[in-house]
Amino acid sequence: MRDASLIVVCAVKFNCEVVMVDYYGYFAITCIALMFVNAIIYYYSLIRFMRSVIRNEPDLWADFRKISSFNENSLSTAYKILLGVNKRKINCDDESTLLAKLAIRWLYITMCFFMIFLFFGLLISINK
């Protein structure tokens, strides 16, 4: 309660817009940090999915590596398989399917934080 009254006093004493823009900036910085952490977790999940596919579905992995381009890395191939599993075009074992769902979930969470960061960035630029 004391913090809320301090914000109200600052808003009355100073320009309310400046105080709110500062809080938007702090929130945007927090979103950047959370987005960075979630991106690391997403790539870790993607690597776990890739290892599971290589271990449990070596034929599927070999087929996708054959049709991949010369300079395509293994994470790009894993992402292609991940999209196929997510759209239910590729059938994998239960472990790989669960890891695919987990990786997609972390990808969506990271994208949400990125969109929130963009929203607050635009809001700050409009209010200045």
Confidence of residue 9 (pLDDT cuts 50, 70, 90): very low
Q: What is the mean pLDDT of residues 5-33?
A: 61
Query: Does residue 15 belong to any structural domain of this protein?
Result: no
Query: Does residue 80 belong to any structural domain of this protein?
Result: yes
Quote the domain boundaries for residue 72.
26-127
Query: Does residue 19 belong to any structural domain of this protein?
Result: no
DSSP 28-77: HHHHHHHHHHHHHHHHHHHHHHHHHHHHH-HHHHHHHHHHS-TT--HHHH
Q: What is the pLDDT of residues 27-81, one digit of tens each?
A: 888 888 898 999 999 999 999 999 999 999 999 999 999 988 888 899 999 999 9
Output 99 or 3, whichever has higher pLDDT.
99
Assigned token pair, 68: 């991949």
Query: Does residue 36 belong to any structural domain of this protein?
Result: yes
Query: Does residue 52 belong to any structural domain of this protein?
Result: yes
Is pLDDT above 90 for 6? no
Spatial distance between the Cα atoms of 91 and 117, rounded to a whole number of angstroms: 36
Is pLDDT above 60 for 16? no
Structural domains in the chain (count): 1
pLDDT at 24: 75
Confidence of residue 10 (pLDDT cuts 50, 70, 90): very low
Q: Is the Cβ–Cβ distance between 45 and 106 less than 8 Å?
A: yes
Query: Does residue 8 belong to any structural domain of this protein?
Result: no
Query: Does residue 107 belong to any structural domain of this protein?
Result: yes
pLDDT at 3: 45
Q: What is the pLDDT of residues 82-104, one digit of tens each?
A: 999 999 899 989 999 999 999 99
Query: Does residue 55 belong to any structural domain of this protein?
Result: yes
